[in-house]
Structure 1
Amino acid sequence: MNATIRHITVDCAGEPYELARFWSALLGRPVSDEDEPGDSEVLVEDPADGPGLLFVRVPEGKTVKNRLHLDLQPTGRTRAQEVERALALGARQLADHTLPDGRGWITMADPEGNEFCVERGEQG
């Protein structure tokens, strides 16, 4: 038998519930009904039974670049539209690695500074 990825865990120095709400809105996935503001662990569920995103409060802040990050591909919108949506939700843009032919990605950070990339979407 093999192991299954149950959660992708993200450490956060602030409020796990608030960071989970950001990712819930960005990914269109629900925050677990069992979690509430003030909890030290908050889960963003995957309705398709894939791994959830688990946000866990830790005492130390982020100090270096993440060794692991998520690459997002927009569905039903362009990369530029997805970047604008992420910015409106509280993300920051860190770098634009878009190539002249449209390939590439844009590196962003969530409200706690965790990096993620937005790749070209289905519509460009």
Structure 2
Amino acid sequence: MALHWKLVIDTSDAPTLADFWAAALGYEVEDQSTLIDRLLAAGQLDDSVVTEHRGRRTFRGFAAIRHPDDPFDRDTGVGQGRRVLFQDVPEPKTVKNRLHIDVHAGAEGLAALVERLESLGATRIREFDKGPAGHWWVMRDPEGNEFCAAQ
């Protein structure tokens, strides 16, 4: 039996980084505004933990993305499959990641993928071409988290 899981990434601006990764991966940013509105109306949530991003209410310091083909709870907006949660933390990133995401190029090829990721705010760090073993770029997302763009 497969376990339900999500990848959690520490951030300084969760909604903005969620936007980047949703665009990079072709995922959808979760819309939890219906849940937030319901909790606010019932008095179960204080306005201080809510903010607005791109015209919808979100939980302050949190954002999540989900694969567009995976199921999600329509009452809460929470994905029930492949999901990444971004959470704000007070300390900045200081060292290399111990875990990273590999984004694989499709038919467009590696060069086009790298250019698209750069247009979203990523930066190139170092290229590796190991012939038959693989060709990839180490890149950084807008907050400096390392990831790979690979053929």
Structure 1 residue runs of 4+, over 4 Å off?
A: none
Aligned-residue CA RMSD in angstroms? 1.9
State, as a whole percentage, how many aligned pairs show the same letter. Answer: 39
1:106 to 123, 133, 137: 137
Q: TM-score, normalised by structure 2?
A: 0.71
Gaps of 5+ in 2: 34-51, 71-80
Give how far 1:2 is off: 5.8
2:124 to 72, 93, 103: 93
Hey, what's the Cα distance between the residues in 1 that align with 2:4 and 2:83?
12
Q: TM-score, normalised by structure 1?
A: 0.85
Count of aligned positions: 118
Hey, what's the Cα distance between the residues in 1 that align with 2:2 and 2:102?
25
1:71 to 98, 102, 120: 102
Corresponding residue number in structure 1 for 2:69:
48
Residues 12-43 of structure 1, C-alpha deviation per residue, up to 9 Å, x if partnerless? 02x11011000111111110111652621100
Q: Larger C-alpha radius of gyration, 1 or 2?
A: 2
Gaps of 5+ in 1: none
Corresponding residue number in structure 2 for 1:62:
93
Secondary structure of 1:81's aligned partner: helix
- Greater shift in the superposed pair: 90-99 or 59-68: 90-99
Give how far 1:74 is off: 1.6
Corresponding residue number in structure 1 for 2:4:
4
Secondary structure of 1:82's aligned partner: helix
